[in-house]
Every structure is written in C-alpha cells, then in structure tokens.
Amino acid sequence: MEHAAEPDEILRKFLAKAEKAAKKAASDPIEATAESAAIVTDDASAGALERTRIEKLEKIAALGFDPWGEKFDDRTPIEAVRGMTLVDGEAHGPRVRVAGRIMLRRGQGKVVFLELRDWSERIQIFIGKNQVGETGWALCGELDLGDLLGVDGTLGRTKTGELTIFAERLTFLGKSLLPPPEKWHGLTDVERRYRQRYVDLFTNPESLATFLARSRMIAAMRSTLAERGFIEVETPTMQAIAGGAAARPFVTHHNTLDLNLYLRIAPELYLKRLLVGGMERVFEIARVFRNEGISPRHNPEFTMLEAYQAYGDYHAMMELAEALITNAIEAIGGGMTRSFQGTEIDFTPPWPRRTYADLLAEHAGVDPADPESIVAAAERSGIETKGKDIHVITNELFEEFVEDKLSGPVFVIDYPAAICPLTKRKKSNPEVAERFELFVCGMELANAYTELNDPMLQEKLFRAQLAGQKEEDSMAKMDDDFVRALKHAMPPAGGIGIGIDRLAMLLLNRASIRDVVLFPLMRPES
RNA sequence: GCCCUCCUAGCUCAAUUGGCAGAGCAGCUGACUCUUAAUCAGCGGGUUAUAGGUUCGAGUCCUAUGGGGGGCACCA
C-alpha cells in the first residue's frame, strides 16, 4: 500500500510542474497562434499573398513578438507629435511613443522608412539597423503594409527635412493577413468601400475624416440642445403602430408574445407623449426605418434628430434649427459658406422665411387658394389630375416647380393644412398649417410644426388619413393611445425633425448618403 | 418593379473591326545607411462575375443570372 505523499512533496511537484509549463510557454509563446496559422495555411481558400503573410506571422512570433499584440499605453496621437516643436539644429527632439498602421515602406539597405498612420495623422518612421537592436531589425524585415506597429523613438528631421521618428524600439501590435489596396490610388471600388468600410476607412483618409466630422457634428448638436435645457431620451424602435410619418414600415415579430411589430418610421408620437408627461424639452437621435426605395438620398435606415419644446411654436423651431446647424458647422470647421457638389451655400443666419403660397406663385404662377388655376397649371405641365385631391396636385406642383429652385438655406413656411395631419392650424386661416420645411440645395433638411395638441381634431385627421388610404398599402392604424395622451392635455409646443444623414451630406459635401452612413444597406454578397 | 450602365491579377487600370490576356503598384529573390508612390536587376501571379449561345476563333457579339452605380416609380 502506497503512502500518501508528504504535503511538502506535493507542493514541490506542483511547483515543478508549473515551472515546466511556464518554461514551455516562454519558449513557444504562440503555440495557439501557430496552430491557428496552420489551419489557415492548409485552407485552400487562402491565397498565395495571404500564405506568405502567415509565414511572416510565424517568423514574427518566433522572434518573441505576439503577432496580435497587447496593451500599448502612453501613446501620443501622431497629430500631437507633429505639433511638437523641434529646436533648430538639435539632433534629438523629445522621446515619443506612437502606434498605427504601416501605410508605406521604403527599404534602403540597412535603413527602412515607414509611413505610420493613426486616426489623427501620418508620420514617417526611420528604422536603422544599428539603432533598433538585432530583434528589432529582424522584425523590421518581416513587416508588411497594413501591419500594426508601435514605435518608441526620438523626434527629429531627416536630411530632407521631413519630420520623422527615429525608432529605438519596435513593438509589434497586429499582423495584417490580407494585402491592403494599392498605395497610390487607394480603394476606389465603391461597392467594396461600402461593404468593407474598414478597408475604406484605413486606406482613404477623406473617408475617415468624413465620419469623424459626422461624429463631431452630432456631438455639437447634442451640446446645443443640452445648453438649451433639452434632455435626451430613448423611445421604442419596435412599435405596434408605426406612426408619425407616412411611410412603409418594416415588419418584425416577437416570438413569445406572438406579436407583429413595426420598426419605427418616426419617434414623433412617443416624444409628444413625453410632453404630456411633463418632460418639457426632449430630443432623440433616432434611427428610423422606412421600407422604401434606395437612392443616393435614401437609405432604408437613417438617423433623425427630433426635438420638442413645450410652450414653443414653429418660430422657436426655426431659431433652434439655425442654432443647431450653425453650431454643427462650427464644430467641423471651414466657415459658414459651404460648397455642395459645386453649389455655394451661405449658412450665415438668419435664413429667409418664405411662405409656401408665395413660392408657388413665384415659380409656378398659381395661387394655392385658387383650385382652378392649380388644375390648369398641373395639366399644362403634364401632371395627372384625375381623381386626385386638389391638395395633392398642389403639392406635386410645388415639388415640380419650386423645390429644385430652393438652393437655400430657406425656410418654407405655412403649408396647406390638408397635407399636415399633425400640425396646428393658423388662427387667422385654418386652411394653413404652422409648419416649415428647411430646404438646402433642393433637399428637404428639416421639417417642423407648431404641434397639433387638440385631441379631437387629431383623431379626426387620423381618421381622414386612414380613409384616404389605398387598401393594399394600408398599414397605418389609428393610434388610440396617442389620442388618449393628448386628452390629458399636451402643452402647446414646437417640434422639429432634422435629417442627420442629409445634413452630413450637405456639410461634408458628399453626393451619396452611402458616403455618410458607415454601413449602408447592401444585398448580401453571393 | 422598369430603363440605362459597369464587373479583366490582391489593388489601380489597358487590350484596335471578334485574332496569342498586358502594365503599374503589391508579392517573392537579390543590391543599396536619409528615402518620399524610393530606385535598380530578376521571378511568380488570370475559369476576364457566373451559366449558356453565335463563331474557325469571344474579355469584346447575343441571352439569362448575380452584384454595383445612375435614373424612373415608390417615398407628405
């Protein structure tokens, strides 16, 4: 019968085992990586270029570097490095640590120049064989375009005067197994730019700049609203009744409740419920979904800013729109005069206010209060009038003759009440609604009302809208709860919706909404 | 849904009236201690989106399919 080992002995054995394991790990720190590399190497789908990069990954690992890197603190953004001052004639500037992606590589015997880029800027790295040590130089030989690298070194200038980090230590931070696009032209294939935005972002600096600017733009709008006492809220994206706009919704389904739901087409009706609840100034940056056609100005999901202000009206919303947009422009820089696809636009406020009726008279030569002249003008320009409501015809005339002319920015105010089911009517003329749309370059950028808060009129308008709906596309339903909310008294209010994507297009001069949406909707790859 | 148009090497692009699929970059091998899209020498790299058809012969012409772009329709 064997005696149980002494406790000391157990401990000793345990420690010996642990030490052995640690030794093994140290001598072969990338066992798991090598294993996964083998899998990819054997994969017939991996191309020749990918295979040579996997071989380099193994060499890099053999040198003792983790091919997938690890935490790398205390970096300085390259933009900040570029801002550091160098004393003239001094050989060594400050010591710096940067990290980024290798964009360019120029070998020169025992010296290699790299171009490293992080999300702020690019900078040249000088790697000399005698300055980075044996392993560092060996690593340098295995570096590919696209790899992620950390560099410690001193800032200085080369003979030609280029600001350069003279590397003293290299830290490998990530192996790129796929070759990046061509270094000069970048990625131009639009399909791949949308599908593989990650590649677009790291190869095309203007694409990255666009999305960074979009983010600053939105941040500025958030702080503008916060300064004015608005609070940010989140309301349902899945709704049993998709209201607040006239658009086809997407349908989804909740399994446990066995309930069909719609993705929201607007947050409007929920935000107004909050006004009833006493939240006096609310806004939401809402992703909304509309099951409609796709075009350079339409993505099925897009971002909308909606804001509601109790005890305000649409005039307050005009002033708010000016503040939001001019602050957004300030945040991205470049001044109030912008160029959009060759058209100069001056955003200096205040922006002109023009009534719908005046513009219609000016550009289409008709008076919206005179049905006969409307029908005559429509027929003259080939717009179908049979069986159509006079207000629909009027609006088609407006779209045909006026919208393109509105290079803007211009507030089109006082719409025909018949096409505004959520808007308060003018006291002086119930045929006209207190609504404006902001137009820039023929594009509708914002839409705002003095909100209708009369529950009885609201219910009547909803019913009229439902009655006018065609059978086949009648997905709109009566929102009884919204009417009930209004019956508890919603304060008189101004409300506004701003299309964030279109604003980004205009301010950043991008022709397609897909250039300001990170991942636009695409058909699946075959 | 309809119309027009595009798809060639990893990337950017050529290829005459239908006549041997090419270049630059990237890659590989080598040279080079201050380059700038580094340079120089050599080498490899393709089911021309897919499937049919016409033809002695198709990247090129025809049809269909897939994907992209633009326009129309839809979208207050």
Q: What is the mean pLDDT of residues A317-337?
A: 96
Chain B bases closer than 7 angstroms to a protein Cβ: 1, 10-13, 24-28, 31-39, 44-45, 66-76
* B71 C1': nearest CA residue: A295
Q: What is the mean pLDDT of residues A31-43?
A: 44
Q: What is the mean pLDDT of residues A442-465?
A: 92
- Rounded CA–C1' distance between A22 and B72, in angstroms: 69
Among A42-51, A114-123, A287-296, A360-369, the least confident range:
A42-51
- Rounded CA–C1' distance between A159 and B34, in angstroms: 6
More confident residue, A383 or A464: A464
Q: Is A520 in contact with A299 (CB distance < 8 Å)?
A: yes
More confident residue, A460 or A35: A460
Q: What residues are paired with A35 via a beta bridge? A: none
- Rounded CA–C1' distance between A526 and B53, in angstroms: 24
- Tally of CA atoms within 13 A in the half-sphere of A279 that contains its CB: 15
Question: From residues 419-458 of A, which are strand B contacts by CB within 7 A?
Answer: 419, 421-422, 447
- Rounded CA–C1' distance between A112 and B31, in angstroms: 15
- Rounded CA–C1' distance between A182 and B23, in angstroms: 14
Whole-angstrom CA distances from A49 to A45, A178, A180, A390, A402 are 11, 7, 11, 65, 56
Q: Is A173 in contact with A73 (CB distance < 8 Å)?
A: no
pLDDT digits over A231-285, tens only?
999 999 999 999 999 889 999 999 999 999 999 999 999 999 999 999 999 999 9
Q: Is the pLDDT of residue A15 over 50?
A: no
pTM of the model: 0.88
Q: Is A521 in contact with A302 (CB distance < 8 Å)?
A: no
Nucleotide nearest A187, CA–C1', reads: B11
* B49 C1': nearest CA residue: A526
Q: What is the mean pLDDT of residues A88-113?
A: 90
Nucleotide nearest A160, CA–C1', reads: B34
What confidence tier does A372 reach under pLDDT thresholds 50, 70, 90?
confident
Question: From residues 235-294 of A, which are strand B contacts by CB within 7 A?
Answer: 245-248, 290, 292-294
Separation of first and last alpha carbons in chain A? 68
* B37 C1': nearest CA residue: A184
- Rounded CA–C1' distance between A189 and B56, in angstroms: 38
**Is the shortest CB-to-strand distance from A526 to strand B under 7 Å?**
yes
**Is the shortest CB-to-strand distance from A474 to strand B under 7 Å?**
no
Q: What is the mean pLDDT of residues A212-219?
A: 97
More confident residue, A375 or A296: A296
**Is the shortest CB-to-strand distance from A384 to strand B under 7 Å?**
no
Nucleotide nearest A437, CA–C1', reads: B76
- Rounded CA–C1' distance between A115 and B10, in angstroms: 21
pLDDT digits over A458-471, tens only?
999 988 888 766 54
Q: What is the mean pLDDT of residues A52-69?
A: 96
Q: Is the pLDDT of residue A85 over 90?
A: no
Among A86-90, A224-228, A339-343, A378-382, the least confident range:
A86-90
What confidence tier does A369 reach under pLDDT thresholds 50, 70, 90?
confident
**Is the shortest CB-to-strand distance from A522 to strand B under 7 Å?**
yes
Average pLDDT over chain A, rounded to an integer: 88
pLDDT digits over A46-57, tens only?
588 999 999 999
What confidence tier does A71 reach under pLDDT thresholds 50, 70, 90?
very high
Nucleotide nearest A115, CA–C1', reads: B36
Nucleotide nearest A199, CA–C1', reads: B11
Question: From residues 328-357 of A, which are strand B contacts by CB within 7 A?
Answer: none
Strand ranges (DSSP E) for A399-442? 410-416, 432-440
Q: What is the mean pLDDT of residues A406-424?
A: 91
Q: Is the pLDDT of residue A507 over 70?
A: yes
Among A25-34, A122-131, A222-231, A500-509, the least confident range:
A25-34
The values of phi and psi at residue A450, to 5°, are -80, 115
Q: Is A262 in contact with A283 (CB distance < 8 Å)?
A: no
Of A482, A521, A517, give the one whose Cα is nearest residue A218: A517
